[in-house]
Structures are given as C-alpha cells and as structure tokens.
Structure 1
Amino acid sequence: MPILIFISLFTLVDFVLLFSIGSQIGLLTTLLLVLVTGFIGLHLIRKEGVSTLARARQRMQAGEIPSQELFTGAALIFGGALLLAPGFLSDALGIACLLPNARQLMFKALAWLGLKNVSGQQQQTRYQQDESSRSNGHEGPIEGEFISRDETARRR
C-alpha cells in the first residue's frame, strides 16, 4: 500500500511540475523538451543495454553470476519506462537510471537501505560451487561403472 501512495504522489508531482513549467515556457517548447528527453533516453538505453549484455555474457562464460549486470538491466528497464511517461521529474529519474555513475549511487543507496546481496557480495565460480556442494557429506570418490563408446559398438 505505501508503494501505491508513493507512485500516486510521484505522478501528481510530476504532472504539476510539467504543467507549471509548461505554462512558463510554452506548449511547443514543453512538448519538444519531453520528446528530446525521450530520444536521449532511447539512445542511452540502446548503448548501455548492449554493453551490459556483453558484460553479462562474459561473466556467465567465466562461471560467475552476473548480479551487477542484472541490477543494471533492471535499472535500464525502469529508466526506459520512466522516460516513456510524460513529465520532467520522471524524465530526470529515468535518465539517472541510464547513467552509469547515477546507477552506482542508486546501488549504494539500496545496499545502505539493507538490501544485501544485490551485487552478490560473495560470488562463487562454478568450481567453488562444485567444491561446496561436494562437502555436504559425499566426500571421496564416487564409484560406478562405465562403458566406452568403442565397447558399445563392439557389443552390437
């Protein structure tokens, strides 16, 4: 419920700000500014999204969890949605979500608020995960039998 109240108040303040600035600078200038911020946001989303996807792929190939990249992707989506909404306050927050330094500040603020492990403080590689899963009582070699492909072909 508190988030709904926050969203309602944010939208109300955004529209009041849009209309008050619009009455000062004129309708055409206001529309032009809203469109320009939207295009800037779309350009930043494309640029940052491609680099974030590349970093996430690199980390996954290295066997790491791309948690920072997931946070970045979520911020890009949120920022893009804010840029689609008309208003100067939502545009400012949307562009802030798209700028790397501003995202880092938001990430630190979320961590300060107590949202732990958003960045995966202790990330494990696949090898470390395998080693930690082996220590759950199944130590030592695993016994079993195998048949090589050559033997299978000879038996037929």
Structure 2
Amino acid sequence: MKYLFLFLIIVPALEIWLFILAGSYFGAWSTIGLIILTGILGAYFAKQQGISAIHRVQESLKAGHAPGDAIIDGVCILAGAIFLITPGFITDTIGFLLLIPTTRRFIKPFILKLIRKWIDKRNVIIYR
C-alpha cells in the first residue's frame, strides 16, 4: 500500500515536470497535441490487442486448455490502456510497453511472480 501512495505522489509530480519541460522545449500546443496523439494511438492499439487477447482466450477454451497466458496478456493490455488514458509521458511509456507484444513478453514473468506472491500471502483467493 505504501508503494501505491508513493506512486500516486511521485509520478504526477514527475509528469508535471515533464509537461513543463516539453512545453518550454516544443511549445505548449505541440505538447498538448502529442498528449492527444498518444491517447488516440494508445486507444486504437489497446482495442486491437484486446480483441486479439479475447480471441486467444476463446481458442484456448475451445481447445480445452487453460487460457492462463492469454489472461495475463489481457491484464497487461487492460493496465496498458489505463496508463494510456492517464495523461503524461511516463504513463504513456508504461502503457505502450504493456501493449506491445514484444515488450509484454518480458513484463509478464514479473506479473506472474507478483500474483503468486499475493496468492501465497492469501491476499488473493482462487475459487474452483
């Protein structure tokens, strides 16, 4: 919980600093345009990747397999979309890293480790 609090304080402060820096370097209108452009591109890419993840889950279920990897992809895509909706350069970078399949492949082991840690601490309950 303390990390979430720090994240909610530090990241917005860094985002504001980057907005000011980008505004002074590129100009206010260019900075605003870049923020809008990344939001539109992110929404399009998140929709495309989300639909692909849903199809992979359906195919796994039809084949009688557990769709674990596709579910983790879906979680990454959802988190990436949320980061892209949040205005800022840091959050946009994190969002795009979660949406791009190549970089997502390197991030998924950390997410699985985190989920396993939550399960071991009984913070998450799995119903069967």
- TM-score (norm: length of structure 1): 0.68
CA shift, 1:114, in A, is 6.2
Name the counterpart of 2:123.
none
Q: Which blocks of at least 5 consecutive residues in structure 2 are unaligned?
A: 118-128
Q: Highest Rg: 1 or 2?
A: 1
Q: Which blocks of at least 5 consecutive residues in structure 1 are unaligned?
A: 118-156
Name the counterpart of 1:14.
15
CA RMSD of aligned residues (A): 1.8
Deviations 1:4-49 (A, max 9, x none): 1123212211221122111211111001101111111111111111
Q: Write out aligned runs for 1:6-155 (5 A).
A: 6-111=7-112, 115-116=115-116
Deviations 1:43-74 (A, max 9, x none): 11111111111110010111221111111111
Which protein has the bigger helix share? 2
CA shift, 1:116, in A, is 4.3
- TM-score (norm: length of structure 2): 0.81
Identity of aligned residues (%): 23
Segments ≥4 residues shifted beyond 2 Å: 108-111, 113-117
Whole-Å separation in 2 of the counterparts to 1:114 and 1:5: 18
Work out the number of aligned pairs and report it: 116
Whole-Å separation in 2 of the counterparts to 1:11 and 1:72: 26
CA shift, 1:95, in A, is 0.9
